[in-house]
Amino acid sequence: MPTAADCRPLDACPPEALRGLRGVLTDIDDTLTDDGELGPAAAAALAALRSAGVPVLAITGRPMGWSRPFARDWPVDAIVAENGAVALFTGPGGALQVEYVQDEAERARNARRLREVAARILAEVPGATLARDSAGRVTDLAIDHAEHARLPPAAVERVLAIMRAAGMQATVSSIHVNGWFGTHDKLSGARWIVQRLYGRALDAERDAWAYVGDSTNDERMFAAFPVSVGVANLRAFADRLEVWPAWICDAPRGAGFAAFAARLLAARCG
Q: pLDDT tens across 45-103, in order? A: 999 999 999 999 999 999 999 999 999 999 999 999 999 999 999 988 899 999 999 99
Task: Give the per-residue SS3 of 97-150.
Answer: EEEECCCHHHHHHHHHHHHHHHHHHHHHCCCCCECCCHHHCCCEEEEECCCCCC
- Give SS3 for 80: strand
Q: What is the DSSP letter of 222?
A: H
C-alpha to C-alpha distance for 109 and 190, rounded to whole angstroms: 25
Region for residue 34 given its phi and psi (left: phi exceeds 0; alpha: psi -120 to 50; beta: otherwise): beta
- Give SS3 for 86: strand
The answer on pLDDT for 3 being more than 80 is yes
For position 8, what pLDDT does the model report?
97
Which domains, and CATH codes, for the chain?
4-75+202-269 (3.40.50.1000), 104-180 (3.90.1070)
Question: Pairing state of beta strands 209-213 and 227-230?
Answer: parallel
For position 2, what pLDDT does the model report?
83
For position 259, what pLDDT does the model report?
98
Q: pTM value? A: 0.96
The β-bridge partners of 33 are: 38
Burial pattern 214-224, b for ≥16 Cβ within 10 A else e, equals bbbbbbbbbbb
CA distances from 196 to 27, 90, 101, 107, 225 (A): 19, 12, 12, 21, 20
Q: pLDDT tens across 165-205, in order? A: 999 999 999 999 999 999 999 999 999 999 999 999 999 99
